[in-house]
Structure 1
Amino acid sequence: MINGRPALTNLEVRPARAADADAIAGIYAHHVLHGTASFDAVARTPVQTEEKMRDTLSKGWPFIVAERAEMIMGYAYVTGFRDRPAYNYTCENSIYLDPACVGQGVGVQLMRALMERARDCGFRQMIAVIGGGEPASVALHSKMGFTHAGRMRNVGRKFGRWLDTVYMQAELGDGDRSAPAREPA
């Protein structure tokens, strides 16, 4: 049982494909138009979504979906945290769920898979930048072992109000307990 509901079964977490772009764009559009997790004012189109997927995957980084019965229930991906070489081992995550799928364990399964795949790519730290300090996102990240790393107060404005951004951080694999095989250039 998860939140009083039966555990999610037959959920497949897999790499995103071009055919998923419409569903992913739809999920993101809901969050742009109705929530504060994204500070975007205009949602990406399916074409822009496919470009984002292609760019992420071309770097060897994970862009994954959770699917059951041919329905995309959510998606997650990582990007580089910053573009300077010293940050090569730190990634930033993004995770969004179809609003009908919240509270069913989809986020936990997606985040677990994302963290494993990011670790396998060589990332040692994962940063969550949580727009609006969304309580459900903070709860999910806390559940997955992320710790509070900071809060920037009133840095965004959406829906007529000022919004904070919460930073959370999780160690992946060896974290800082060992040096990577290659130092950044």
Structure 2
Amino acid sequence: MIRLLPVLLLGAAPAAPAADMRPADPVLRTLLEGDAANASGNHAALLDTVQALKALGATPAEGQEDLAARWTHEAQAHGAAPSTLAFRGRALGPAYRRGSLVPGGSVTMRQLFLGGQRAQISVAPANGSAAKLSIRVHGADGETLCAKPVGGPQADCAWLPLFTDRYDIVIENGGKAAVGFYLIMR
């Protein structure tokens, strides 16, 4: 009986949770949660996601669709009412971009980062798909500052620009299927 006790206790204990495969970045995580709520038709959760996105201070990058506005309109059209969240927004927040790439495709974006202020870029595959995405950041002189595969829920590149300058951000799809992604620029 004593030898069975550890076995019985192991059987009664809750299973250890699998590794959280969602991005660690709160904005990326919120965008993916919004996609999931939208896909499942959970309009109350969709509005909560919009409030969280606004509280994080995230806004669309120039020329990108304002997902918060679209999701708010869709949720309210289905009768969802906003709940109150205990978040406070930032004066300046991250910009997000949503995109998709065909197999073997790439996209290059130029972004201005301020000298003396930490710059960070995060990318995650949309819908939690296992994608073969990669990210590269090049300085104005063409020097590669960061090159990483998106081997998990997200990949981050961070640096401290010495001078205010524009940087090239390159996202590539090395896979055999089209893939969507989110990009956060801080």
What TM-score does the superposition give when structure 1 sets the normalisation length? 0.30
Structure (1/2) with the larger helix percentage: 1
Larger-Rg structure: 2
What TM-score does the superposition give when structure 2 sets the normalisation length? 0.30
